[in-house]
Structure 1
Amino acid sequence: MKELINYILQFGILNQQQIDFIENKAIEVALEKDDYFSEAGKIPVRVGFILEGVIRGCYYNNKGEEITRCLISENSLVVDYLNFEANTSSTEYLQACTSCKLIVFLKQDWLELSQTIVGWENIAGKMFQKCLFQKSRKGPVISQDATTRYLEFMQNHPSLINRISLAYIASYLGVTQQSLSRIRKNIR
């Protein structure tokens, strides 16, 4: 819980009573590898904070191929924010790449935080902005060659290299698994 509170305090000031209220609304949740945090076709109903593990945002393109759009790891918020706020069905999946431990707020509890804590909407807005920024910045530049994309991935996400499936990394980089295996072999 300490990690979540430290994360929130980056975006605003809270007193102990407000912190206690937040802690009372939070639920610890475990996801097994391949479990979904939220699913396409369903309205997202929770906001999570990752204590341990990695979650990927993915969708299916018009050819039915699964595309990994972003990878979200520890000390980050995870939510399909736009659909959560609009109360509309999601078009992507948020799926555990590893076993995960999260602190979760159900939508009703999240709304209660807004109604009870003065300035919560401003804090939450900043957290969601960072969440959206991280998701948008994590996509590789497809105009780069595949080796450059992988080298950048290794530089930007060293902790993920041996934690998640090569299939997810390949999808994220926009290459086939065979190409990624060749690239990895040539780099060694």
Structure 2
Amino acid sequence: MKIFGPLYERALKWASHERAPTYLTVLSFIEAIIFPVMPEVMLAPMCVAQPKRGWWFATLSLAGSLAGALVGYALGHFAFEAVKPLLAAMGMLPAIESGIAVVQEKMAESPWAVFTFLVLGGFMPIPMKVFTWASGIVGVPMLQYVLSMIIGRGKRVYLLAAVIRIGGPRAELALRRWIEPLGWVATGLVVLLVGVLVWRAKFA
């Protein structure tokens, strides 16, 4: 069953639209809160089409992600209990609760331990929304939270823009070819990580 390929093809259509920069920003914003498709699948073909504007596209994606991260934090902090049934129906609740356990563990060490974890988490194949909601629920200090979101997501989008600029169309073709297996591998890693976190929360 192919899931990530069709999603990628849809993102490619968005990328060719004249309002693609707006779509990218909105996609980045929504992905940080609830949407399952990472904005990189739209950022990559946009960087291929206009490599000289790749840094600008990456900046737009980062700005959208940061705005979404603030909304996700606020929702987690103020509305988590109210939206728990919705998150459970969408299958997001186990991952968020596991994220809460890890963020709480890091908070017990220090706010900067949380900062380091979130920075590293921004480069993992884990949906950003897990971290944004969990951080709001736990109450991660805003300074460490915002800095970690900027660095964690920023290094992803700017690295992608740099790879596309250097690799050119071949990089985008490779992404198209491998998007399906990469998507399933990333999903498997997320499921594995969630399982480990749940096991640790229950038996640690």
- Normalized against structure 1, the TM-score is what? 0.30
Q: Which has the higher strand share?
A: 1
Structure number with greater Rg is 1
- TM normalised by structure 2 equals 0.28
- The structure richer in helix per residue is 2
